Structure 1
Amino acid sequence: MRHIALAIGLVIAAPSFAQTPMTAEEFEDYVTGKTLYYASNGIAYGIEEYHPGREVRWSFLDDECKEGVWYPRDEQICFEYIDGNGPQCWTFFLQDGGLMARFADDPPGSELYETQTSDEPLKCPGPAVGV
């Protein structure tokens, strides 16, 4: 009986494990020309603006923006910003509510979720604004 219950549990849980990562082409088609807002565990996390040519602008919601580029690496989308901190690689999935992203090899439960889409550019006055 335990084997049957385990088998039923695995079948019910299968869709969450059966997600297919987006290809670079699918990701590019989805994001180019958009500004996407992301949250983690219901808390606002950051905003990324996606430009043609795989160029991006990221902000942690602090009015400071980082310019960078993205590129595919296997099933991941990697981002490199001009701050020189090296690639940050994510696996993206398209779900009913938008994008879901999992950082490198982080376990399920630590994902970022798209919460809003905009055509407006980021406002990036930066930390050194003023006299």
Structure 2
Amino acid sequence: MIKLLFFLFLATPLAAQSPMDADAFEAYSQGKTLYFGYDGSIYGAEEYLPNRRVRWSVLDGKCQDGEWYQDGQMICFVYIGESDPQCWSFYQRQGGLMAQFENDPDLTTLFEIEPSEEPMVCLGPEIGV
């Protein structure tokens, strides 16, 4: 019976689920660093700071600071140096979040791999001649 319920849960289409609103997303993410995966590998991590600020990295030591806000049923991120928001629909599921990229819904669906209370490691700015 438990296996049947598990498979029914997996088979539930996204349309039947409601995306998280800003309050639910903030309650889930605040103070955490969430690692996301795509296509079987780590895609990147985002640190959720106070006042809806964030720090994103593809885990190459470079970090982008930004902020997030709710737009309709989406959570949108704007990073310093980028003018276009990146909007996602977040769904809470067993085992973590699922994030659907709404700027191009056919492009990317990320899955939370693991949460952490530790901040990300970000290298300082590049110095050159």
Distance 1:63 1:88, change over 3 A: same
Give the alignment's TM-score, normalised by structure 2: 0.84
Amino acid at match of 1:72: Q
Partner of 2:114: 116
How many residue pairs match? The answer is: 120
Cα distance in 1 for residues equivalent to 2:9 and 2:72:
29
Q: Which amino acid aligns with 2:25?
A: F
1:34 aligns with 2:32: yes
Aligned-residue sequence identity (percent) comes to 49
Q: CA RMSD in A?
A: 2.3
TM-superposed CA distance for 1:88, in Å, is 0.3
Q: TM-score, normalised by structure 1?
A: 0.83
Larger Rg: 1
State the AA in 2 paired with 1:106: P
Query: Moved runs in structure 1, 4+ residues, more than 2 A?
Result: 11-14
Unmatched tracts of structure 2, length 5 or more: 1-7
In 2, distance between residues paired with 1:14 and 1:120? 34
Where do residues 1-131 of structure 1 align in structure 2 (5 Å cutoff)? 15-17=12-14, 18-104=16-102, 105-107=104-106, 110-126=108-124, 128=126
Cα separation, 1, equivalents of 2:108 and 2:85? 19
**Consecutive unaligned residues in structure 1, runs of 5 or more:** 1-10
